[in-house]
Chain A
Amino acid sequence: MANEYPAVNLSRVCKNYGQALIKQRVLIDVELRINRGEFVVLFGRSGSGKSTLLNLIGAMDRPTSGLIEIDGIQISNLKERARTEFRRASLGFIFQAYNLIPTLTAFENVKLPLTLNGIFDETPALKILNDLGLENKAGSSVEDLSGGEQQRVAIGRALVHSPSLILADEPTGNLDIETGHEIIRLIDGLVRRNGQTLIMATHSQEVIGYADRVLTIRDRKVVEL
């Protein structure tokens, strides 16, 4: 039954910031459908609304109006607690600034989503560290890792609990070109192998080559590029 639903479905989604006189309209009547297993790039300049859209799809923010469905679950009407539980179980996040917990080791960071979901088997965490080539860095403090290594730990953390949807916000923004490519290849390989859906916000042209579809935000609406 679940396969009948698209991975992401947005209908007439609007997002405003501020109130009354100083209202800022960031997204207007966004329509978007992303299928399962798709790798979609959200391309555009800074301030175009990419992160806002990612926040809405990632259940981190609420739309001003419209409907958002992820795997057939309407998240725009979910209460705070339910949205939190939804994020915990169904989503994986990769951020530009890695946002690892600095006081945990690489292994502990990767293991965190498992423990939050009540899974105490450490095998998936060890396996993904191996897949990411970080088996020798498992016990290291993340602060001692290079930028590329830290982003690989972040990828591991996003994928370890096998979420159906991965959201990546400028994952190569803090990395050099070569490391950036390596990271994109890693993410692409892993999500395709697991059949997961990936939405990546970026302004990097190089990433476009990996995507199934490229979208952009023009006049506050999502359009195909």
Chain B
Amino acid sequence: MSSLIYTAFSRHLIKHPWQLGLALLGIAVGVAVIVSIRLTQHSAFEAFDIATHTTMGQASHRLVGPKGLVTNEQYQRMVLAFPALPMTPVINQRLTLPEHGRAIELLGIDPISRTKFNPGGKVDRLWFEPEKLISEPRSAIISRTTAAELGLRTGSYLTVNYGPKTARLKIIALLPPPHSPGGLVKGLIIVDIATAQEVLQLYHGISHINLLINDNYTATHLNKTISAAYGDELELLDLAAESRRIKRMTAAFYSNLNALSLMALLVGMFLIYNTETFIILQRRKILGCLRALGVSRRQVLQSILIEASCIGVIGSLGGIILGVFLADSLLGIVSTTINDLYFKTSIDRLSVASTTLFGSFSVGVASTLLAALIPALQATRIEPTLMTNRNSVQPPNIRQICIIAGIIFFLCNLLSWFTLEYSQSPNAGFVGISLVVFGFAAICPLAIIALSAGTRWLLSSQRFLPERHGLRTVSTAVNRTGPASAALMIATAASIGIGIMIMSFRVSVSDWLDTALRADLYVSGEHFDNQSRGVKLSPAFVEKIERLDEVTSTSTVLRQQIKTPSGNVQLSAYKLNAAARQGFQFKVGDSEAIWVQWEDSDVVIITEPYAHHNLLDIGDDLQIKTNTGERRFQIVGIYADYASERGNISMSRNTYDRHWERDDYDGIGIYVAPNVSIADAASSVTAVINANSTIVVNSAAELKQTSLEVFDRTFLITELLRAIAVIVSVIGILGALLAQQLERTREYGVLRAIGFTIPEMGRTILTQTFLLGATAAMIAIPVGILIGVILIEVVNPRSFGWTMIMQIPTALMVKSFAIAVLAALGAGLYPSYRAARIEVTDAMRYE
């Protein structure tokens, strides 16, 4: 292929920087969104790995007690029983910093036994001299970042609180040392195990034991031995499996974000398609000339695709740079959501993975080529006879557009139906959505033609000549205005669909909270994560609360991780009064029948997600390992619960007590006497608590507010991505209009010459943009509702097992319609300005 053709094409692009810029922007924004989502995910996982490594060292397994406590005696027995097995005691607990008004994670370690976890001289992430921690009493090491935040340095003292207990720790080192390759351990304070016991006044035990299974012991052998020696007192956890399980929990969250990022890329692809179509339109004469001179169709296709791949490469590189910056900005939001919903991690910095960058780069280039393929194929159909054809701009073939659009619409919707009907995967939901969106995008040009004709009929008076002209123009240039309108339609529809899903989800969660939070006040041990490391409430404490004059009745809950054949799950044992029972919304099962069996039979009720993930229904039996051995419990109800994606099992406290021996609680629901204010009751309850430890009291309203705040934070990133997609599509509309204006420069000149005033020129162009926006919005509303239905009825039940009450808020529809139309009108302002400034003589000469 002649290099002269590439020279000609590249110079053409350089001479038209707006078009080049739009194409580059389209792909760059799409790639940037993908890169940012992938990088934040990677950073979150890396931070999690580093934090895990810091607390576990090279440990492969962890030995835990049922109440989050391993006694000193149990630890000593383990050391004696397995002398060749590297093991180290660990204490971890969250402390508060009274001088700074924030919390910090305490990690108590045994520096000497921990060294066994770094065989072969592997670098310990903690990176310090262990003997210092032992030799200097109440000494601590703190992460460098946290030290900077708290204004601490080596030699400073830090006051920490654990409930009513206070201690002062001396900072003896910061980690990692400067210029070291050490990891990030933000929000962590490390002390010797003895210091940790002193700070927590936990002299009789530790949190858990970390183990490194080596050639001397297999996990199976160890499990058997531990089971024989300790029964159910201690449990061996595979840390790698735990880590994988925790990361898997975020899969649904990220699949939503990835779907959104792909949508942004789809919008970007429309932008590229639009730009490529216009570039080819501009080059029709050049291409026709080249064809006449003997350039083959294949050479035309090849040269356009090579040019597109160059745009793809540059755009994707730009997208990667933009994506890294975007990821840095999103890191805080993603970090908050992960902390709220999944696991505790401090994402201190962005971790840039080359595989992510390369993958996103490849997706960007491939998408550009795909988007450019149709215009490139159209270019190959340009005939050399164009050179002797006086009519340089041919009107689009409406019949052809109708047939192609109809076929695409039909096929996409049929495929979508098949996908949704016959695949049970959550990802099939996203595929179904993409097909529906693509199918409706195909009919955008048809809608433009129809709406244009209808509006022209309505505006038949001569007073509307500029508007009528604008409507006709937008219709005849439908091969360029169609994709722009489709891009705006996609962004608006996605915005509506996601809006419907979020709104429905929020209303469902809010309704559920209203129903579930029947008590006036809730007392609980402070839970820092979903590992149940909070303080347990004693029966004496519950009794004290019940004896308060302000309290009429209580309900209680005890939470415990239990073993079932399908894995560990949280069991909640409830003592419920009549009001608390009304807090359960049963999706399956008869509530009256359930409560009849609740106390005296071995029955359980399970949450929707648990039923979904484990394919369970009422009438099925659950085999649970209890203190009295394996027992079968019949499922009698499935209830709504949005608190956990994994789901949980509930039974009555009576049933629990028949199979386990525990007397403590995790939470109390307090029903306040009718003549007492909730604030007064809360004060009385708090007065009882002060004598205890880190127990917290919340009103139902506070809990609801906090829960909804978490919900809103979770979807903040979604809102941001929605906004990005809309901005990209507005740029698309702007590009399409600019392109159209350029193409019609001579026509505008003629209009000005025959007497069109500047305001009339503005009316012409703004009518065009209004039509594009209105078409996009009108199609986007039904498509958005369809997306919402698929998200609510297919994606969410398949991903999480949650059902929702569908909401179609009128305000959202009106807002989206207005945004689409205003965006389109806004995009028309600059072209109107340019059209108004056209010099008639120059325009008439324009080729």
Query: Which listed segment binds A: B4-12, B178-186, B698-706?
Result: B4-12
Query: Which listed segment binds A: B28-36, B380-388, B520-528?
Result: B380-388
**Is A112 touching B4 in the complex (CB atoms < 8 A)?**
yes
Contacts known (A55-B388, A103-B7); A93 close to B383, Cβ less than 8 A: no
Specify which of A54, A84, A115 is in contact with B3 (CB 8 Å cutoff). Answer: A115
* Cα distance A38–B383 in the bound complex, in angstroms: 28
The main secondary structure of chain B at its interface with chain A is: helix
Please give, as numbers and ranges, the residues of chain B lying within 8 Å of A84 by CB-CB distance.
291, 294-297
Specify which of A87, A104, A108, A115 is in contact with B384 (CB 8 Å cutoff). Answer: A87
Question: A144 near B: Cβ within 8 Å?
Answer: no
Question: A152 near B: Cβ within 8 Å?
Answer: no
Contacts known (A103-B11, A104-B7, A104-B11); A88 close to B388, Cβ less than 8 A: no
Question: B2 near A: Cβ within 8 Å?
Answer: yes
Nearest B residue to A104, CB-CB: B8
Q: Beta-carbon contacts of A55-93 to B below 8 Å, as 1s and 0s?
A: 100101100000000000000000011001111110001
**Is B388 touching A95 in the complex (CB atoms < 8 A)?**
yes
* Cα distance A97–B388 in the bound complex, in angstroms: 9
Question: A186 near B: Cβ within 8 Å?
Answer: no
Question: A169 near B: Cβ within 8 Å?
Answer: yes
A173 to chain B, nearest CB (A): 10
A1 to chain B, nearest CB (A): 24
B287 to chain A, nearest CB (A): 10
Nearest A residue to B383, CB-CB: A60
Specify which of A54, A61, A116, A169 is in contact with B293 (CB 8 Å cutoff). Answer: A116
**Is A93 touching B4 in the complex (CB atoms < 8 A)?**
no
**Is B293 touching A112 in the complex (CB atoms < 8 A)?**
yes
Count chain A CB atoms within 10 A of each CB in B2, B8, B294 and give the residue with the most.
B294
**Is A116 touching B294 in the complex (CB atoms < 8 A)?**
yes
Please give, as numbers and ranges, the residues of chain A lying within 8 Å of B4 by CB-CB distance.
104, 108, 111-112, 115
Please give, as numbers and ranges, the residues of chain A lying within 8 Å of B15 by CB-CB distance.
103
Question: B289 near A: Cβ within 8 Å?
Answer: yes
Count chain B CB atoms within 10 A of each CB in A84, A89, A113, A169 and give the residue with the most.
A84
Please give, as numbers and ranges, the residues of chain B lying within 8 Å of A99 by CB-CB distance.
285, 288-289, 292, 387
* Cα distance A146–B637 in the bound complex, in angstroms: 88
Please give, as numbers and ranges, the residues of chain B lying within 8 Å of A116 by CB-CB distance.
2, 293-295
Question: A51 near B: Cβ within 8 Å?
Answer: yes
Please give, as numbers and ranges, the residues of chain A lying within 8 Å of B717 by CB-CB distance.
none
Please give, as numbers and ranges, the residues of chain B lying within 8 Å of A108 by CB-CB distance.
4, 7-8
B24 to chain A, nearest CB (A): 19
Question: A225 near B: Cβ within 8 Å?
Answer: no
**Is B385 touching A93 in the complex (CB atoms < 8 A)?**
no
Q: Beta-carbon contacts of B260-301 to A below 8 Å, as 1s and 0s?
A: 000000000000000000000000011011111111111000
Contacts known (A84-B296, A85-B294); A101 close to B388, Cβ less than 8 A: no
Contacts known (A93-B293, A113-B294, A116-B293); A61 close to B385, Cβ less than 8 A: yes
Please give, as numbers and ranges, the residues of chain B lying within 8 Å of A51 by CB-CB distance.
388-389
Question: A102 near B: Cβ within 8 Å?
Answer: yes
Nearest B residue to A46, CB-CB: B390
* Cα distance A81–B385 in the bound complex, in angstroms: 16
Nearest B residue to A86, CB-CB: B294
* Cα distance A81–B72 in the bound complex, in angstroms: 87
Contacts known (A101-B286, A104-B8, A104-B11); A80 close to B297, Cβ less than 8 A: yes
**Is B7 touching A95 in the complex (CB atoms < 8 A)?**
no
* Cα distance A205–B84 in the bound complex, in angstroms: 110
**Is B293 touching A87 in the complex (CB atoms < 8 A)?**
yes
Nearest B residue to A98, CB-CB: B289
Please give, as numbers and ranges, the residues of chain A lying within 8 Å of B387 by CB-CB distance.
60, 93, 95, 97, 99, 169
* Cα distance A82–B11 in the bound complex, in angstroms: 30
A17 to chain B, nearest CB (A): 11
Contacts known (A55-B388, A103-B7); A113 close to B383, Cβ less than 8 A: no
* Cα distance A128–B7 in the bound complex, in angstroms: 22
Please give, as numbers and ranges, the residues of chain A lying within 8 Å of B9 by CB-CB distance.
103
Please give, as numbers and ranges, the residues of chain B lying within 8 Å of A112 by CB-CB distance.
2, 4, 293
Nearest B residue to A102, CB-CB: B286
Interface residues of B in 369-393 (CB under 8 A from A): 383-385, 387-389
* Cα distance A117–B296 in the bound complex, in angstroms: 12
Please give, as numbers and ranges, the residues of chain A lying within 8 Å of B12 by CB-CB distance.
102-103
Please give, as numbers and ranges, the residues of chain A lying within 8 Å of B294 by CB-CB distance.
84-89, 113, 116-117
Interface residues of B in 13-29 (CB under 8 A from A): 15
Nearest B residue to A95, CB-CB: B387
**Is A101 touching B292 in the complex (CB atoms < 8 A)?**
no
Please give, as numbers and ranges, the residues of chain A lying within 8 Å of B288 by CB-CB distance.
99
**Is A115 touching B7 in the complex (CB atoms < 8 A)?**
no
Please give, as numbers and ranges, the residues of chain B lying within 8 Å of A113 by CB-CB distance.
293-294
Count chain A CB atoms within 10 A of each CB in B3, B285, B298 and give the residue with the most.
B285
Q: Beta-carbon contacts of A104-136 to B below 8 Å, as 1s and 0s?
A: 100010011101110000000000000000000
Known pairs A87-B292, A115-B2; list 12 more (Cβ under 8 Å).
A51-B389, A55-B388, A60-B292, A60-B387, A81-B298, A88-B295, A95-B387, A99-B288, A103-B7, A104-B4, A112-B4, A112-B293
A-B contact pairs, 13 of them (CB 8 A): A60-B385, A60-B387, A80-B296, A85-B296, A86-B294, A87-B293, A88-B295, A95-B388, A97-B285, A99-B288, A99-B387, A104-B4, A104-B11
Interface residues of B (CB under 8 A from A): 2-4, 7-9, 11-12, 15, 285-286, 288-298, 383-385, 387-389
Interface residues of A (CB under 8 A from B): 51, 54-55, 58, 60-61, 80-81, 84-89, 93, 95, 97, 99-104, 108, 111-113, 115-117, 157, 169
List of 4 A-B pairs having minimum Cβ-Cβ separation, nearest first: A88-B294, A103-B11, A60-B384, A51-B388
